[in-house]
Structure 1
Amino acid sequence: MNNVRTHKPRPMVDLVVSIILPSAILMKLSGENDLGASGALITALAFPLAWGLFELIKYRKFNFIALLGLVSVLLTGGIGLFELDTKWLAIKEAAIPSIIGIAVLISTFTPYPLVKALLLNPEVMDVEKIHLKLKEHNSTNIFEKRLVTATYLIAGSFAFSAVMNYILAKWLVISPAGTPEFNEELGQLTLYSYPMIALPSMVMMIGIFYYLWRTIHDLTGLKLEEVVASNK
């Protein structure tokens, strides 16, 4: 019997725990009369770190992207606590989406391309039905070529995130690590990255998903309700 629980996305909880709470702590509680620079940094990063570990352990999905997210939190804490040059924060901010984008590209040369895991998710789409219809219409090769195009588009969205992360980090975080000012700027970086980077990236992903759906519809004739996976 399979006891692994199904993961249900909770975007509002993710937003509060990973962005709003850490940002508020960093910007409001970093003073010497509050938690102090180090105390506020540790407390703020504890929320997304604990939440990420909880999600990974509860649902037993130790995937590559989630693992990178946890590594990113730990690196941010290390830069602040060891008072490293802030250039490393900008490099780290750019490195994480860059690694994901490169991994997406490299995976196209393996039997397990990440684009299929990201876009052709059996929990969302009836993948078996799609493949059967593609074979019926002799469109499998065309579909595979469109998937490669989608791969380049996804990699491009991560490249956008990397560039914007670097620019935003260099622009906002200018104070030495280990100071209340650094924490406040880090809080602003965390807060501003959502509307300035995460939302545009999300719009790009929605556009790519729509491109894939139109491809499936054009090549198979399937309607949206026929493509969506049944939960029965």
Structure 2
Amino acid sequence: MQISLSTALLGALALLADPSAASSKPQHQHQPQTTLTLWVPSSQPLPNPHTLPSTTHATLSALRAAYDAPLTAAGSFVFRNVTPGSYLADVHSATHAFAPLRIDVLARAPADDEGEAGGGLVVRAWETYRGNDWDNKGQEVPRSGGGFAVRALGPREYFVERGSFSILSILKNPMILMGLVSMVLFIGMPKLIENMDPETRAEWEEQQKSNPMSSLMGGGAQPGANPMGNFDMAAYLAGQGAKKDDAEPASSKGGKR
């Protein structure tokens, strides 16, 4: 009897010294928890989820919580004892890439006085991507198959295929196409002019003479002759053209004498 009284006295003194010690354990036990399931559907580009390597796993990460779930034989990831919060779900695989999900585990409002059901947890999911604003939610993923489906983006590529030589890739170059068109015009135009009848050719030559561009290019004097062909640009820049022009009147005067 004395031992039980002393034990009760010590327990009362401990509660007086630290009142939060008695309330911490019940709060932890009554914190709502739920089970979250993510599963991989059989669709392109992953027709068979069972072909994923055994090291494939999924993670739920938040600011102060993190969960990890391996790939089960049924092709799903089961997270147990998930507390309320907002999480980022990622599927890590060595062969395929998956779209991340935003998972919100929300607590329902408690039951009111009118008898409406309440309490428990509500789980919702949205597709997202890294670098996106957390408040900017994407397309909501409906619950199906007892959980949420994660979408496969495609197989991972660790090597870049070396580009092969192709003639079509050269012909697709705009500069090559312009050169080919210019070559065809340069070779084909003289042959087209030669095959014209005399009346059409004479009319075409008259049009070329009246064209101001043809006179600038030397087409007004003689067909096929370029008046700038004998012009020496280097001598003109050196000043020899001016001295030659000055010497012509003197020689002409000397000839008249």
TM-score, normalization by structure 1 = 0.21
TM-score, normalization by structure 2 = 0.20
Larger relative strand fraction: 2
Larger relative helix fraction: 1
Choose 1 or 2 for highest CA Rg: 2
